[in-house]
Amino acid sequence: MGRNRVVDGDWPGEGDQEPIVDMGAYEMQPNDSFRVWPLPGDANWDCVVNILDLIFVRSKLNEDPNAGALNWRADVNADGDINILDLIFIRNQLGKRCR
């Protein structure tokens, strides 16, 4: 829909300047406002919500979720800010796993 066919949308290598065709119907754009987590609270996408997710988000606190290749993942509650609310969101999801 008006976008170039090949973009840097290869997960997990987003932002590596290696354009890889996304296998979805639409190419993934790093700045898309709608983002889907495989598991709510799983910021590092390892299919389990644990201390590693808390550490990842803590390392990104107060950064712009739209700056940097993976910063948007730290905004786990999708409110547009990386803040304490994201840490609380993760804490409330601890121990959950992908199906």
User: All domains of the chain, ordered by start, with CATH?
Assistant: 1-32 (no CATH), 35-99 (1.10.1330.10)
**Residues 44-58: tens digit of each pLDDT:** 999 999 999 999 999
**Residues 13-25: tens digit of each pLDDT:** 555 556 665 555 5
Q: Are 68 and 76 in contact (CB under 8 A)?
A: no
Distance of alpha carbon 16 from alpha carbon 53, whole angstroms = 22
Distance of alpha carbon 72 from alpha carbon 53, whole angstroms = 13
Distance of alpha carbon 39 from alpha carbon 7, whole angstroms = 25
Q: What is the pTM of this model?
A: 0.64
